[in-house]
Amino acid sequence: GENVEQHPSTLSVQEGDSAVIKCTYSDSASNYFPWYKQELGKRPQLIIDIRSNVGEKKDQRIAVTLNKTAKHFSLHITETQPEDSAVYFCAASKGSGGSNYKLTFGKGTLLTVNP
């Protein structure tokens, strides 16, 4: 099955700096890559996603890039703020029917933004 590796496991940045979290996946058939943010004690929430027909997607201060050849995708957060502090999860899926649509999550990155 699919295997998603996520790095780093912890990341500490100064407010205003950029943060980058990287994920690799094993199944070349995967075509849907969401990112979830989980604040301490809260539920995971989708912040951005990308499909395999797109190389990059932006939403204000966050962006995701995808390299299908290398089978890796990354989350970029610019101008970080203390409220960006959370655990971020990447995930991958084949996005089709049957068992193929299950999301496989990375193990998470704890991002700390220091004021």
Partner 1 sequence: NAGVTQTPKFQVLKTGQSMTLQCAQDMNHNSMYWYRQDPGMGLRLIYYSASEGTTDKGEVPNGYNVSRLNKREFSLRLESAAPSQTSVYFCASSELPTGVTEAFFGQGTRLTVV
What is the rounded CA–CA span in Å between residue 82 and residue 51? 29
**Residue with smaller CB distance to partner 1, 61 or 102:** 102
Asked if residues 36 and 44 have their Cβ atoms less than 8 Å apart, the reply is yes
**Residue with smaller CB distance to partner 1, 78 or 110:** 110
Q: Footprint of partner 1 on this chain (CB under 8 A)?
A: 1, 6, 9, 32, 34, 42-46, 49, 89, 93-97, 99-108
Closest separation between CB of residue 16 and partner 1, Å?
Answer: 29
**Residue with smaller CB distance to partner 1, 88 or 115:** 88
The CB density around residue 102, as the number of other CB atoms within 10 Å, is 12
Kindly report the CA angle at 102 between 86 and 64, in degrees rounded to 5? Answer: 45
**Residue with smaller CB distance to partner 1, 5 or 79:** 5
Give the chain's radius of gyration (CA, Å).
14
Counted residue by residue, the chain has a size of 115
Closest separation between CB of residue 66 and partner 1, Å?
Answer: 15
